[in-house]
Amino acid sequence: MAMLEWSEEFSVGIELIDKQHKILIRAINLLAMAVEYNSSRDMMQEIFTTLREYTDTHFAYEEELFDRFDYPETEQHKAQHRSLLKQVVDLEKRWQAGETEIGAEVLQFLVTWLRNHILGSDKKYSAFLLKALAGA
């Protein structure tokens, strides 16, 4: 069973960002399956790396749009991104150090953070960016 499922309530109305969010949801669900089935250390590391790298790519894309269209809450949103990436890296380091039981903690953190971030901060910028993109 998936930890998190895509629904239209997550849509920000910007196709590429919605696609990126769907990929992040799939990555979280893949991590959930790996934890549930006690996957190999190499598999878990690959999933962590993919999740971290894709999250970084997604954030860079959002931030490029913020900068290009002068989104007024850019700095606050970027700070949220930096905070998440730091937490993901910290959790990954704990896992690498042998705290393999943190899988459930990592999953709960990621699911809660992604859901709250999309429905909160991302929904907040979507109206601004949709208007800016329409005029571009």
What is the pTM assigned to this prediction? 0.85
Q: Where are the domains of the chain?
A: 15-24+45-135
Percent of the chain clearing pLDDT 70 (strictly above)? 98
On average, the pLDDT of the chain sits at 88
Q: What are phi and psi of 12, to 5 degrees?
A: -100, 0
Both tokens of residue 136? 């571009």
**What is the distance between the alpha carbons of residues 128 and 130, in angstroms, rounded to a whole number?**
6
Q: How confident is the model at residue 1 (pLDDT cuts 50, 70, 90)?
A: low
| Domain 15-24+45-135: CATH class, spelled out | mainly alpha
